[in-house]
């Protein structure tokens, strides 16, 4: 169902992986944007017709295990390699990473970054900050970190969009986006709007 439209824009179809984790928060953000059709997906057949996907935060091992059991991992990897835009937040970033320093299991391994699961500490060490993000207009963006992974290494084709205390926390490679924090919990739709525009531009090409 199309939940927000603007006649001046082409409809973009965004799917949110809905196996586990912070799905509803992403859906609410996307529904607030114009010309976006929002869907959820859990199986390969549900990727058909999607222009871009979001991999939400949650438990990366649980999401990866369920994706394998549903036969989704290979299909999702193929679509991403073919150029479908994807954004991974927190656990979703772990799924995208080429290398996970402390867990080699069940990930897509498509983005040239190395991450450390729970690198920012346990649940009690969650925190909020606010900094400017390259490409996100309107001033500093609120950052919500919850059991966040750390980006340890970025490859030569990866552009860092934002760093906190000298460490990358948001990056982009081609049409792949990764954030260690949770924009969907910020109450600020600017990052989702930016990703929708990235997806729209990629699909025009």
Band of residue 40 on the pLDDT scale cut at 50, 70, 90: very high
Is the pLDDT assigned to residue 76 strictly greater than 90? yes
Is the pLDDT assigned to residue 2 strictly greater than 50? no
Of 26, 107, 182, 192, the catalytic one is 182
Both tokens assigned to 20: 């586990």
For the question of residue 26 being annotated catalytic, the response is no
| φ, ψ for residue 184, nearest 5 deg | -70, -15
Is the pLDDT assigned to residue 102 strictly greater than 80? no
Q: Looking up tokens 């980006």, which residue turns up?
A: 151
pTM of the model: 0.92
Of 25, 26, 171, 184, the catalytic one is 184
Helix (H) or strand (E) holding 128: strand 127-131
Of 26, 90, 107, 192, the catalytic one is 90
Kindly tell me the burial class for residue 98, based on how many C-beta atoms sit within 10 Å of its own C-beta (0-12, 13-18, 19 or more).
Answer: middle
What pLDDT is stored for residue 156 in this prediction?
A: 96
What pLDDT is stored for residue 8 in this prediction?
A: 56
125-183 pLDDT, tens digit per residue, is 577 899 999 999 999 999 999 878 889 999 999 999 999 999 999 999 999 999 999 99
Lowest mean pLDDT among 31-35, 65-69, 122-126, 150-154: 122-126
CATH architecture of 2-204: 3-Layer(aba) Sandwich (3.40)
For the question of residue 192 being annotated catalytic, the response is no
3-26 pLDDT, tens digit per residue, is 444 545 789 999 999 999 889 999
For the question of residue 171 being annotated catalytic, the response is no
Band of residue 203 on the pLDDT scale cut at 50, 70, 90: confident
End-to-end Cα spacing for the chain: 25
């Amino acid at each position: 169902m199309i939940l927000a439209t603007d006649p001046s824009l082409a409809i973009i179809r965004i799917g949110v992986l809905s196996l586990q984790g912070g799905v509803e928060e992403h859906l609410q953000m996307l529904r607030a944007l114009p010309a976006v059709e929002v869907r959820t997906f859990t199986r390969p057949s549900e990727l058909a017709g999607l222009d871009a996907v979001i991999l939400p935060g949650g438990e990366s091992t649980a999401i990866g295990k369920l994706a394998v059991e549903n036969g989704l991992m290979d299909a999702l990897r193929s679509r991403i390699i073919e150029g479908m835009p994807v954004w991974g937040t927190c656990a979703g970033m772990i799924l995208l990473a080429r290398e996970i320093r402390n867990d080699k299991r069940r990930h897509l391994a498509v983005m040239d970054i190395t991450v450390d699961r729970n690198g920012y500490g346990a649940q009690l060490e969650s925190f909020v900050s606010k900094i400017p993000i390259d490409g996100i207009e309107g001033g500093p963006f609120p950052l919500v970190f919850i059991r966040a992974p750390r980006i340890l290494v970025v490859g030569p084709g990866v552009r860092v969009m934002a760093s906190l205390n000298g460490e990358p926390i948001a990056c982009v490679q081609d049409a792949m986006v990764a954030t260690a924090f949770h924009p969907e919990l910020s109450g600020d739709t600017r990052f989702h709007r930016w990703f929708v525009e990235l997806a729209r531009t990629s699909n025009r090409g």
